[in-house]
Amino acid sequence: MEQQQQQHFNIVVADETHFHYAETICEEMAESAKARGTGIAKRTPEYVREKMREGKAVIALSDKGEWAGFCYIETWSHGEYVANSGLIVSPKFRKSGLAKAIKKKIFALSREKYPNSKIFGLTTGLAVMKINSELGYEPVTYSELTQDEAFWAGCKSCVNYEILMSKSRKNCMCTAMLYDPADHYEPEETQQFFEQKSKVLERLNRIKEWKLLRPFMKKEEGGSGSVRSFLHHFFHL
């Protein structure tokens, strides 16, 4: 672990010279989703290469030239929304702080390319939520995300797609987070919120998972009592 902490990484905007890493990146994305048991939208090597070609991805390499991590940008609703998607770190380099460094790099690239766009993400992991909060993201309801059909179509390959559709795209296993350049808290504030309420948030995520996975769950009256609604309210007190 100590050796990993001292590992140096070169995190750059990906281009054609990184095409040969595309297969490995997609394989690691699939394996990571399988291990978590939650799933993410699948991406093909061709799709990853296209993001590299467009300058809409960042890649991390070790000081020995080994692939270490990756993330890319997607745009929705004619550029009104931007998503930093497909964050993946090689198992060899996990727990080294690399995920946070990649997120910061792709966030900066998104702000540079799309300064007026809202940046959002869907995640099941508290670690990613913590990183997002340090950048100024806030937890939001799904209604505050893009309603672009192409975005939601990307969830079809996720193992939780049936849950998403059964909830009319208003709720699922993932937590939605958003950075709005026109109206947002400072990163110090959102980070403080997360640190103060992370244990409560973890408990709420477990409650949400239990509720959504119950095979014969009764609909909550009016939907106002959902865990997601409570979470949204909780973080905006």
Residue type, position 131, single letter: I
pTM for the structure as a whole: 0.74
* Alpha-carbon span 164 to 155, nearest angstrom: 9
CATH number for 122: 3.40.630.30
CA dihedral 130, 132, 135, 137 (to 10 degrees): -120
Taking alpha carbons only, the member of 201, 11, 235 closest to residue 103 is 11
Find the domain containing 57 and state its range: 2-234
Paired residues of 72 in beta bridges: 57, 85
- How many structural domains are present in the chain? 1
Q: How many helices (H) and strands (E) does the chain have?
A: 9, 7
Q: What are the CA-CA distances from residue 107 to residues 15, 96, 153 (Å)?
A: 17, 19, 24
Token couple for 2: 């100590």
Q: What is the full per-residue pLDDT of the chain (237 aa) written as tens digits?
A: 434 445 789 999 999 999 999 999 999 998 887 776 655 667 899 999 999 999 999 999 999 999 999 999 999 999 999 999 889 999 999 988 999 999 999 999 999 999 999 999 988 778 888 888 889 898 899 999 999 999 998 888 787 888 899 989 998 888 899 999 998 666 676 667 666 666 656 665 655 554 554 543 444 444 444 444 444 444 443
What's 21's DSSP letter? G
